[in-house]
A = this chain, B = another copy of it.
């Protein structure tokens, strides 16, 4: 036996799993396909040396396990720039507003407010440990979020704004999402305001040095336990042991295994013996969202001088959502844009040149012509990444939670499942990844203690 536990994947979840297992006195090997750690958490260095986050990046209230990890690793946080007015672009025209609620006609605001109130009330009824046992689980899981929006929301503009909000959380369209999965995710993160907001919400703060430093610091502590460039292709498992086979003939035998990659990628590993029908069919039903994250750098964050936060929402794509992503020094100025769901799928087929132009046009519509003249442009299409294949996370299409839900976390013999998709709190977020690692490490340690 090489080690006690083999962990597949060195994203936040896998690294935290390894940290905790080692703390329990166990030998651990982490096998990572890429030549870097962090998974969906990734820094990018601009040509002037500025570090920006091209993957998951924010931390907010109640994301306690992520906070705690950062504190442990000595990684500081700083507030997302949020001083000034936000921008709403409607039919090409810029409207400024202050706070979380855009300047929309009163009946549209009422429509949005009531939708949110109703959905929050429903979300509270979805048990985080077992969404399939919600009182109206079958009804909610049998319809898309779009169906709910069409039936319950009365204004065209309200529906459009709400669909954008949905896409900003899932990087998928309301038409794809199960209402139950939406309510679960919302409850899991502390209801809609917390998901949507900067101040007091999931976009509240950033990590000094970029979020990937968390993964890198963890990996440094784990030292030789983490092996990069080792894509695991097969896992043999029986009542005694687990053996992971990676490229290049790498072979790690362990008492238990933790698969800490998104379920859609876990489906692509060859299991011997094959996994039970329920687990296999679940992983046919866990598509990743689609997002292209882009950043444009400028000599300075000129929008700040104009009294703007850098946050814009637009009725027109491909970028419909922006943030100020400048470093704490405020220099250079960095605008961050998201193409999500349908927009990402369309723009993903374009050349980079065409995308760049379309993105800068979106920035210019929101922040004026200066935004069109970036000195640097970087982008990341997460659907194109062989070892991720979509972001932010997986969603469970209609009928999946109620028919296959338990298989998401239930171990298969000596194989255990981690990753933010398996979290009950902040599922789909970095905090959920950390929690899933902590949960699975405890699960594995207990199983080794009780059953060997």
State whether A281 and B270 are in contact (beta carbons under 8 Å apart), knowing that A176-B399, A345-B404 are contacts in the complex. Answer: no
> Is A301 interfacial (CB 8 A cutoff)?
no
On whether the beta carbons of A288 and B281 are closer than 8 Å, the reply is: yes
On whether the beta carbons of B383 and A175 are closer than 8 Å, the reply is: no
State whether A383 and B281 are in contact (beta carbons under 8 Å apart), knowing that A176-B397, A176-B400, A399-B176 are contacts in the complex. Answer: yes
On whether the beta carbons of B142 and A143 are closer than 8 Å, the reply is: no
> Is A23 interfacial (CB 8 A cutoff)?
no
**Category for how many chain A residues contact B:** 35 or more
Q: From residue 266 to 289 of chain A, which have CB atoms closer than 8 A to chain B?
A: 267-268, 270, 274, 276-278, 280-281, 284-288
On whether the beta carbons of B277 and A384 are closer than 8 Å, the reply is: yes
- B172, B264, B278, B398: the one contacting A176 at CB < 8 Å is B398
- B146, B267, B280, B389: the one contacting A281 at CB < 8 Å is B389
Assembled-state Cα–Cα distance A270/B389 (Å) = 13
State whether A399 and B172 are in contact (beta carbons under 8 Å apart), knowing that A142-B144, A274-B386 are contacts in the complex. Answer: yes
Give the residues in chain B near A290, CB-CB below 8 Å: 277, 281
Number of identical protomers: 2
Give the residues in chain B near A264, CB-CB below 8 Å: 267, 284
In the complex formed, the residue of B with least CB distance to A268 is B268
Assembled-state Cα–Cα distance A233/B341 (Å) = 30
On whether the beta carbons of A390 and B147 are closer than 8 Å, the reply is: no
State whether A383 and B277 are in contact (beta carbons under 8 Å apart), knowing that A285-B397, A398-B398 are contacts in the complex. Answer: yes
On whether the beta carbons of A381 and B174 are closer than 8 Å, the reply is: no
> Is A340 interfacial (CB 8 A cutoff)?
no
Instruction: State how many angstroms separate the Cβ of A170 from the closest Cβ of chain B.
Output: 11
In the complex formed, the residue of B with least CB distance to A292 is B277
- B144, B341, B390: the one contacting A284 at CB < 8 Å is B390
Give the residues in chain B near A142, CB-CB below 8 Å: 144, 146-147, 150, 173-175
In the complex formed, the residue of B with least CB distance to A383 is B277
- B277, B284, B288, B349: the one contacting A278 at CB < 8 Å is B349
- B280, B342, B381: the one contacting A389 at CB < 8 Å is B280
> Is A9 interfacial (CB 8 A cutoff)?
no
**New A-B contacts (16) at CB < 8 Å, excluding given A143-B147, A144-B144, A277-B384:** A141-B175, A143-B144, A147-B147, A233-B270, A264-B267, A264-B284, A267-B268, A268-B268, A274-B384, A277-B290, A281-B287, A281-B383, A284-B389, A284-B390, A341-B403, A397-B397
Chain A residues at the B interface, C-beta cutoff of 8 Å = 138, 141-144, 146-147, 150, 172-176, 233, 264, 267-268, 270, 274, 276-278, 280-281, 284-288, 290, 341-342, 345, 348-349, 381, 383-384, 386, 389-390, 397-400, 402-404
* A to B CB contacts below 8 Å, 5 in the list: A144-B399, A173-B403, A175-B399, A176-B399, A345-B404
